[in-house]
């Protein structure tokens, strides 16, 4: 949970640093730019999610060689995709801003932010793979260290580039990109300590044939294909949410972005339980233990519900002071305060969807995740269109409903997932790393 809580602090710091300048257009630009980066970078979030499920299952089965090979594959794929994204910076950026609404000043700020962030793409995607691998092994302290290093670097870079050099939204983007490279360096040190050798040595030890064995690559890409479709569907929902705010003006876009920081904090903290479920459920599948599978769901579900209720209460009571801390603009503060109750409800109504994500990711049930994600996205878009006459109230009503839609779609698949288990004797794990 501590590691997860630190992840959204990157976005919170970005919003706070630019928000304290009092420039509404710059804050709106960071909001729009962050949406673009999220849509593009997290389209490859399977590098984190697929890595966790596959690693935990290999570790549960005692297959040390496959655990090591998964790390090398993830880094190779993440680095290659990151370099490709950087090469495609111009067309991807222009296409994104042709689709997403934004005034001239907002788009100019967002363009600078996005351009700077793309230079961190190779590092960001490799960090996805490292984080997923660490979660799969249950090495949450190492993952926490990685996130804390990234956050510390991001704070320093943002403050220096924005307040020291006056670079505005572009400075925020450059600061975050620089922090991603620092995080990659730290991540390579951490995984070397966990695996007992650096990734290059692991690759040489395994050999090219084992690393890229056809059966292993087919499984990896089959799971990742479904996870990518699911992730893109959910990212479209968030991009649509940001675009809905942009249609209502820069102040509404900025206010919604401020409130989205509450949502991100809730999502990442409660995902700590979901990631625990991923690891434990992957272990249960590796050992074919139905009892372990059910126990992991029960315990993470109980803790998720309690934590969600506490966070909802905290957001409700402390939300307005936090809004004032993030932004100095009176209009942005007033708009964000008006819709704060919706953000405060998200930890409760979003908890089931995040937990079920963990259950199905740990089970490597990509098809169910894909179908539920696409269905939720289609129904969310329909709801938002129907509620447009209500303005920003309709935007938040549809957004809130999207979490219930996501949970409902996965709940339809849960009985068959449970039935797929046969109670067997847990097997030994002679070669497990964790």
pLDDT tens for each residue of 185-236: 999 999 999 999 999 999 888 777 777 777 777 777 776 788 788 888 888 8
Q: Which residues make Cβ contacts (< 8 Å) with residue 354, sequence separation at least 6?
A: 267, 270, 271, 273, 274, 304
Query: Over 50: is that where the pLDDT of 429 sits?
Result: no
Name the pTM for this structure: 0.74
Rounded Cα–Cα distance for residues 326 and 329 (Å)? 9
Query: Over 60: is that where the pLDDT of 275 sits?
Result: yes
Distance of CA 309 to the CA centre of its chain: 22
Query: Over 50: is that where the pLDDT of 431 sits?
Result: no
Q: What integer pLDDT is reported at residue 2 of this predicted model?
A: 66
Query: Over 70: is that where the pLDDT of 18 sits?
Result: yes
Query: For residue range 98-154, what is the model confidence (pLDDT) as tens digits?
Result: 887 667 888 899 999 999 999 999 999 999 999 989 988 889 889 889 988 998 999
Output the furthest CA–CA distance in the chain (Å, rounded). 64
Q: In the predicted model, what is the mean pLDDT of the chain?
A: 86
Contact by Cβ (8 Å): 343, 204: no
Query: Over 60: is that where the pLDDT of 433 sits?
Result: no
Query: For residue range 398-418, what is the model confidence (pLDDT) as tens digits?
Result: 999 999 999 999 999 998 888
Give the sign of the dihedral formed by CA 337, CA 339, CA 345, CA 346: negative
Query: Over 60: is that where the pLDDT of 423 sits?
Result: no
Query: Over 60: is that where the pLDDT of 316 sits?
Result: yes
Q: By percentage, how much of the chain surpasses pLDDT 90?
A: 46
Q: What integer pLDDT is reported at residue 426 of this predicted model?
A: 40
Q: What integer pLDDT is reported at residue 428 of this predicted model?
A: 40
Query: For residue range 57-81, what is the model confidence (pLDDT) as tens digits?
Result: 888 788 888 899 999 999 999 999 9
Q: By percentage, how much of the chain surpasses pLDDT 70?
A: 93
Q: Which residue has the higher pLDDT, 283 or 118?
A: 118
The full DSSP string for 279-328 is: HHHHHHHHHT-HHHHHHHHHHHHHHHHHHHHHHHHHHHHHHHHHHHHH--
Q: Around 188, how many Cα atoms within 13 Å sit in the side-chain half-sphere?
A: 17
Q: For residue 411, what are the CA distances in angstroms to 36, 291, 334, 357, 408?
A: 30, 20, 38, 10, 5
Q: Which residue has the higher pLDDT, 84 or 36?
A: 84
Confidence of residue 321 (pLDDT cuts 50, 70, 90): very high
DSSP character at residue 421: -
Our separate counts of H helices and E strands in the chain read 20, 0
Q: What integer pLDDT is reported at residue 245 of this predicted model?
A: 85
Count of C-beta atoms within a 10 Å radius of residue 99: 11
Query: For residue range 344-395, what is the model confidence (pLDDT) as tens digits?
Result: 999 999 999 999 998 988 887 888 999 999 999 999 999 999 999 999 999 9
pLDDT (mean) for 313-324: 94
Q: What integer pLDDT is reported at residue 4 of this predicted model?
A: 60
Contact by Cβ (8 Å): 116, 174: yes
Rounded Cα–Cα distance for residues 138 and 224 (Å)? 21
21-30, 236-245, 392-401: the lowest-pLDDT one: 21-30
Tokens 């809730």 -> residue = 266
Q: What integer pLDDT is reported at residue 424 of this predicted model?
A: 41
Distance of CA 238 to the CA centre of its chain: 12
Q: Which residue has the higher pLDDT, 292 or 21?
A: 292
Q: What integer pLDDT is reported at residue 417 of this predicted model?
A: 84
Query: Over 70: is that where the pLDDT of 430 sits?
Result: no
Q: What integer pLDDT is reported at residue 421 of this predicted model?
A: 65
Confidence of residue 38 (pLDDT cuts 50, 70, 90): confident
């Amino acid at each position: 949970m501590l590691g997860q809580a630190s992840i959204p602090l990157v976005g919170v710091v970005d919003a706070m640093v630019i928000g304290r300048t009092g420039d509404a257009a710059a804050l709106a630009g960071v909001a729009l730019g962050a949406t673009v980066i999220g849509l593009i970078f997290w389209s490859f979030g399977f590098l984190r999610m697929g890595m966790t499920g596959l690693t935990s299952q290999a570790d549960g089965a005692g297959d040390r060689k496959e655990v090591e090979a998964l790390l090398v594959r993830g880094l190779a794929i993440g680095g290659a995709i990151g370099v490709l994204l950087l090469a495609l910076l111009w067309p991807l950026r222009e296409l994104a801003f042709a689709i997403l609404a934004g005034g001239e000043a907002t788009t100019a700020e967002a363009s600078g932010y996005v351009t700077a962030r793309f230079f961190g793409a190779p590092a960001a995607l490799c960090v996805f793979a490292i984080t997923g691998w660490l979660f799969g092994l249950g090495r949450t302290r190492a993952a926490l260290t990685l996130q804390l290093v990234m956050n510390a670097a991001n704070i320093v870079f943002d403050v220096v580039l924005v307040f020291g050099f006056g670079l505005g939204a572009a400075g925020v983007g450059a600061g975050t990109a620089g922090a991603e490279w620092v995080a990659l360096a730290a991540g390579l040190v951490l995984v070397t300590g966990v695996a007992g050798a650096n990734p290059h040595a692991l690759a040489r030890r395994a050999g090219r044939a084992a690393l890229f064995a056809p059966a292993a690559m087919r499984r990896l890409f089959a799971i990742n294909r479904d996870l990518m479709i699911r992730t893109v569907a959910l990212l479209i929902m968030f991009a649509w949410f940001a675009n809905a705010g942009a249609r209502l003006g820069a102040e509404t876009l900025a206010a919604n972005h401020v409130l989205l920081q509450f949502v991100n904090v809730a999502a990442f903290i409660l995902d700590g339980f979901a990631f625990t479920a991923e690891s434990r459920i992957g272990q249960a599948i590796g050992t074919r233990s139905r009892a372990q599978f059910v126990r992991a769901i029960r315990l993470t579900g109980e803790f998720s519900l309690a934590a969600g209720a506490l966070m909802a209460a905290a957001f409700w009571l402390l939300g307005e002071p936090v809004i004032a801390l993030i932004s100095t603009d009176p209009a942005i503060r007033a708009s964000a305060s008006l819709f704060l109750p919706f953000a405060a409800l998200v930890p409760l109504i979003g908890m089931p969807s995040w937990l079920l994500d963990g259950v199905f990711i740990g089970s490597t049930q990509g098809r169910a995740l894909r179908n539920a994600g696409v269905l939720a996205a289609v129904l969310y878009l329909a709801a938002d269109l129907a509620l447009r006459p209500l303005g920003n109230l309709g935007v938040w009503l549809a957004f809130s409903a999207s979490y219930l839609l996501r949970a409902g779609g996965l709940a339809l698949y849960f009985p068959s997932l449970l039935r797929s288990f046969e109670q067997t004797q847990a097997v030994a794990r002679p070669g497990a790393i964790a």
